[in-house]
Each structure stands twice: as structure tokens, then as C-alpha cells.
Amino acid sequence: MSKRYDWDVIERLLHDVQNSVASADASEASATELKALLLERGFIAAHTSGAGGNGQGASLTPRGASLLAMIDSSIPGNDHPRQVLDEQGDALDTGTFDEVASKAQIA
């Protein structure tokens, strides 16, 4: 059975990270869990105090930028990549995502 993700929440989180904006809304718990998953699986990277930051915040990794490009709702035709991702066992598994993202017809 495929694991389903809320691509709209993930898209918003990736945009928030990209724009360094903290998210706060009714789905905060879900967003917090998804953000932790995205961090754990290398879609976003936490800023560290040794990297010139204060240890807070995050930035998109190349994998996160690729995911955002695939699911960005401002891009016409983004439903197909979301559908393909939904058909995977776990689309945010790094190996699965990297394989799907490497297919030219998806990206």
C-alpha cells in the first residue's frame, strides 16, 4: 500500500524554508512532523551555528529543490508528478524519490 502525503502542506513547508518564513496554522502538528521527516531524509538542512547562523532555520537541499519543482502548484501540470509520487510505496524515501526524480517525464 502506498503511503500518501499532503503535497500542499509539503509544498508550503518547502516554500517556507526557501523563503525563511516560519509556518503557523491549524495544521501545525502535521507540518511539524512533515518538516522533521523532510529534515531527516535530506530534503531540507538545518542551519548550524558553525555555518554563520544561530542554529535556527533551515534551507532547501538540492533534493528539496527538486521535490518543490515537482509539486509546485504554481506550475501548470503539477498533478502528474504528484500522482506519480502518490503511486510509490513511500515517495519521500530517499532512494525512491531519487529514482522517480531522475525520470525525465516526471521532473
- 1 belongs to a structural domain: no
pLDDT digits (tens, 9 = 90+) for 2-19: 788 999 999 999 988 888
- 107 belongs to a structural domain: no
3-state SS, one letter per residue, for the chain: CCECCCHHHHHHHHHHHHCCCCCCCCCHHHHHHHHHHHHHCCCEEECCHHHCCCCCCEEECHHHHHHHHHHCCCCCCCHHHHHHHHCCCECCCHHHHHHHHCCCCCC
State how many domains the chain has: 1
- 13 belongs to a structural domain: yes
* Domain of residue 30, residue span: 7-101
- 26 belongs to a structural domain: yes
Q: What is the pTM of this model?
A: 0.76
Kindly tell me if the per-residue pLDDT of 27 is higher than 90.
no
